[in-house]
């Protein structure tokens, strides 16, 4: 599995806070990659549902990322979910390309 940790600074906070976001991003990316059918369903239902955790797939992904770290705030989860949404819709290569532009 590709390691995408550290490609993009998610929180702008640094230290442990950012490290937790990076761990969550990697966990979510791996979930997306390992659950292609569920990822496709999330895309067709719209990611607004993901933010409200209304579907089973959304709940699974949310649990995957939030349980990958000891402490997780709602802001951290939403920031990571935004990146995961972009990856799921546009692909990892486009996300990496956009991340490089913002460095």
Q: What is the pTM of this model?
A: 0.84
| Assigned domain for 10 exists | no
Domain assignment present for 6:
no
One digit per residue, the tens of pLDDT, for the chain of length 103 reads 788 888 888 888 878 999 999 999 999 999 999 998 877 776 666 556 555 666 677 788 889 999 999 999 989 998 998 899 889 888 999 999 987 776 5
What's the total number of domains in the chain? 1
Q: Give CA torsion, residues 60, 22, 47, 34, to 10 deg.
A: -50
Reference 97, options 29, 37, 86, 32; nearest CA is 86
Helices (H), the chain: 15-34, 36-45, 47-52, 56-66, 74-90, 92-102
Residue range(s) defining the domain that contains residue 96: 15-102
Q: Do the domain assignments include residue 72? A: yes
Residue 43 within a domain: yes
């Amino acid at each position: 599995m590709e390691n995408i940790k550290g490609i993009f600074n998610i929180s702008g906070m640094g230290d442990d806070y950012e490290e937790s976001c990076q761990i969550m991003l990697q966990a979510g990316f791996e979930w997306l990659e390992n659950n292609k059918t569920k990822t496709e369903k999330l895309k067709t239902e719209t990611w607004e549902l993901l933010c409200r955790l209304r579907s089973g797939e959304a709940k699974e992904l949310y649990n995957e990322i939030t349980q990958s770290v000891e402490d997780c705030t709602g802001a951290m989860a939403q920031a990571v979910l935004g990146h995961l949404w972009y990856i799921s819709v546009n692909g990892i290569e486009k996300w990496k390309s956009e991340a490089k532009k913002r460095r």
